[in-house]
Amino acid sequence: MTTKIPSEIVRIDLTDASYKDAHTYIEPTYVNFFFGNNGTGKSTIARAIKSGAGISYASGRTSADYLPLVYDQEFIDENFRSYRNMKGVFTLNARNAAIQQQIEEKTEERATIQKALTEVTEKRDKTAAARSKLQRDFYKDCWDREKALREEFAKTQSGKGKSEPFTREILKHTPRDVDIEELRRLYDSAYSDTAKRYPRFATIADTSVLDTLEGRDILTTAIVNSADTELAGFLRGIGATEWMRQGHEEYSRQAGEKCPYCGQVLPTDFEQIFIDSFDTRYQDNLRRLDAFLALYKQTANDLFVPLQNLPSEVYPQIDTKPYTDKLAVLKAAIQSNIEAIKAKTENPASTAALSDISPILDELADIIKNFNALIDANNAVVDAGPKKRNECTDLVFSLLAFHLKDVIAAYQQSDTEMQKELDGLEAEIKKHTEALENIKATLISLRKNTVETETAKDSINNMLRDTGMQGFSLQPKRGVDYVYEVRRPDGTIADNLSEGEKNFIAFLYFYHLVYGSDSADGDTREKIVVIDDPVSSMDSGSLFIVSTLVRQMIEVCRNNADNRNRTANGNFIKQIFILTHNAYFHREISYSYVSRYEYASFYLIRKLNMKSTIKLCDDVNPNIPTERINVNPVKNSYAALWDEYREVKSAVPLMNVIRRILEHYFLQLCGYEGATLRHVILVQGKADGRFKDADGNDDEEKFQLASAMLAYINANSIGMNDGMDFVDESLNAEECRQIFEMIFDCMNQRQHYDMMIRNQ
């Protein structure tokens, strides 16, 4: 069965632009034709090959082995940003036959070594794949054989739940015939479900902390006022000193200038009288008393809150009732002491006696100590668990290694043999790689002595002349080696080239770059060529030459797959990709490769709902159902001409397309003579008033345009002169289309015209 032959790039995965999320990929051959309208995604393929994104190369090859040369709009812009500084193209010359012979010999030697490198790399890859399979089979065998032991000691298999980590762990252990019953007892102990750590109870750092608080002596001090003022004496006389102080603190701010009790207006100096009625010592002792109360509360809170918060999970062996009961006693004692302190603040002259808290705390500390001792003992057992579990796991895998020792020995022997073979192949790969590097250095050295830029320059100028583009040419830049300029015959720089002229000279430059190099040293890497829509805005003469040059490059690439009946020398183009929306150009370059299914592929690119798709155009061979054949997505050249007619904008290439359509349809298909066409269209058409303007007057310009159009189809259309009889550039393309349509009306072929125009 006929199959596609893979080349250097074996797969392209497209994930950018309109291919995003479309999961589009292609598996190209040596020669690859892509046809699709503008905007369908052709340039995305070119950019992917240039950048290497999503590109997979043949076994043993990488992007570093190739020089990708891409002709696209970016190439045109980069190389023709200025017409004054175009890098020279270095090509081999014939002045030193001996060195050129060495270059050819080294090139052939490189091809031989590269072939050997590819073969040994493929063998290395196959051996590595076989070794990987051997390893996978070994892992699966071990996994399946020891299913029962794995499941019985399942908790020792953490992180080993697949065949690879399970078997790798076995290989780390020395085989050992372990007593299974002892192993089971150890497993039950080490992996007990009830064993766990528990948090400890909060401890008491100092049980005497509340009984030894600083400032406690203020409780036994009678705080009295000894101030010698009339108001102070009056208050002492009626025993209302403290009542007056507390009332002043509570109500003075709300009362304002009046007495809060009788409502009479107070003297203006009442506040000073009041202050003078309480001596400084009295006031200091009151502040000490308040401070001690605050300190006692804060210290009690800091002590009690941690004790009140039991551990998040209490050890089941502990009865917390004695603990909570003692906490209740502690809380009551503390609260009683706080109340006693508060009572003194209300009657500072009295004394207060506090209950000792330390005995309660001592008892509570003993309870906590006993609780934590039980918890620590439990946690110690739990902490020893990992050690026991590690011991158990080691024994389980040692037993597994013992059970599988014969399987392991057989695998290791085979694996060692394969590794030895791989080492030998890696040594060969290294040897071939080094040889290729040496040849590369030699070729660079030889090329330095046999390259020049004149041949490429002269060839480009000859091709420009052959297409009638005589208004400019490439010339060496004065005072600068190996740089071209585009100059007019008068020596000025040809800055204002048309789009078609610019694209044509850019392609000629690209073509010679493919055959040569942009430096004297030369890049000796093999080339992958990408040509993206090369004939935009070109006339028929330019298109003819571009088609011829592209076919030459295809033939160079073809030599890598089939070097019989060569029509081009060399095989330095290892793979070629041609992308176009021009149906005529596509047919011109691809017609002879449709039958080359093995090394040529045809693709149709479409875009639907903003998503691009690529279809490989092939089908079952009707003569040999077991084989497939290529199918050209552009069905015939006549339909391609109408496609081009709909798209072309400039009058010159439009006239060329019109000539081809008229000639093919009326002369070849319908069988009219040129003279008959002229008589019906010009003579009868004029008599019928077809050449009248809007005012009914004769439109001589229309008549002459129709006459020129009909004369144009009689021109010789074969060979390099196929574009010599151009109509003047000033022609209006829309007028050409109107006359073209009128010709079909004159010949009563309106139905055919409408059908072909609508066939979009």
pLDDT at residue 84 in the model: 64
CA pair distance 114, 432, nearest whole angstrom: 8
Beta-ladder partners of 265: 258
Helix axes 405-448, 385-403, angle to 10 degrees: 90
Burial-class residue 210 by CB neighbours within 10 Å (0-12, 13-18, 19+).
Answer: buried
> Buried b vs exposed e over 273-308: b needs ≥16 C-beta within 10 Å?
ebeebbbeebeebbeebeebbeebeeebeebeeebe
CB count, 10 Å around CB of 331? Answer: 15
Tens-digit pLDDT profile for residues 237-262:
566 556 666 665 655 566 566 676 67
Can you give 309-361 as a three-state secondary structure string? CCCCCCCCCCCCHHHHHHHHHHHHHHHHHHHHHHHHHHCCCCCCCCCCCHHHH
pLDDT at residue 726 in the model: 42
Residue 605's SS3 state is strand
* Domain locations in the chain as residue ranges: 9-93+450-635, 639-758
H or E stretch covering 431: helix 405-448
Helix axes 499-515, 454-466, angle to 10 degrees: 140
Task: Select from 534, 533, 544 the least CA-distant residue to 468.
Answer: 544
In terms of phi and psi (left: phi > 0; alpha: psi -120 to 50; beta: otherwise), the region of 484 is beta
pLDDT at residue 719 in the model: 32
Residue 183's SS3 state is helix
What sign has the CA pseudo-torsion 114, 120, 124, 129? Answer: positive
Dihedral (C-alpha) 209, 210, 216, 220: value to the nearest 10 degrees? -140
Tens-digit pLDDT profile for residues 70-98:
999 888 888 776 666 666 666 655 555 57
DSSP state of 202: P
CA pair distance 275, 266, nearest whole angstrom: 14
What sign has the CA pseudo-torsion 235, 239, 245, 247? Answer: negative
CA pair distance 44, 16, nearest whole angstrom: 7
CATH number 3.40.50 is the correct assignment for the domain at 9-93+450-635: yes
Residue 163 · residue 142 · CB < 8 Å: yes
Beta-ladder partners of 11: 56
Residue 751's SS3 state is helix
pLDDT at residue 491 in the model: 79
Task: Select from 531, 519, 544, 601 the least CA-distant residue to 573.
Answer: 531
CA pair distance 484, 513, nearest whole angstrom: 13
Give residue 54's Cα distance to chain centre.
Answer: 10
H or E stretch covering 503: helix 499-515
The list of the chain residues with pLDDT below 70 reads 1, 81-97, 99-100, 189, 225-258, 260-261, 263, 266, 268-279, 381, 447-453, 479, 481-482, 518-524, 635-637, 640, 712-730, 759-760
CA pair distance 352, 340, nearest whole angstrom: 6
Residue 63 · residue 55 · CB < 8 Å: yes
Residues 6+ apart with CB under 8 A from 535: 503, 542, 543, 546, 547, 580, 582, 585
CA pair distance 163, 575, nearest whole angstrom: 43
Q: Write the CA distances from 607 to 419, 585, 615, 632, 758, integer angstroms.
A: 49, 21, 11, 19, 20
H or E stretch covering 218: none
Tokens, residue 527: 């080339």
pLDDT at residue 601 in the model: 95
Can you give 108-162 as a three-state secondary structure string? HHHHHHHHHHHHHHHHHHHHHHHHHHHHHHHHHHHHHHCHHHHHHCHHHHCCCCC
CA pair distance 583, 591, nearest whole angstrom: 12
pLDDT at residue 715 in the model: 44
Dihedral (C-alpha) 436, 442, 443, 449: value to the nearest 10 degrees? 180
Q: Write the CA distances from 45 to 34, 42, 600, 757, integer angstroms.
A: 10, 5, 17, 30
Tens-digit pLDDT profile for residues 261-307:
676 776 765 555 555 555 577 778 888 888 999 999 999 999 999 99
Task: Select from 394, 410, 392, 412 the least CA-distant residue to 175.
Answer: 394
pLDDT at residue 237 in the model: 56
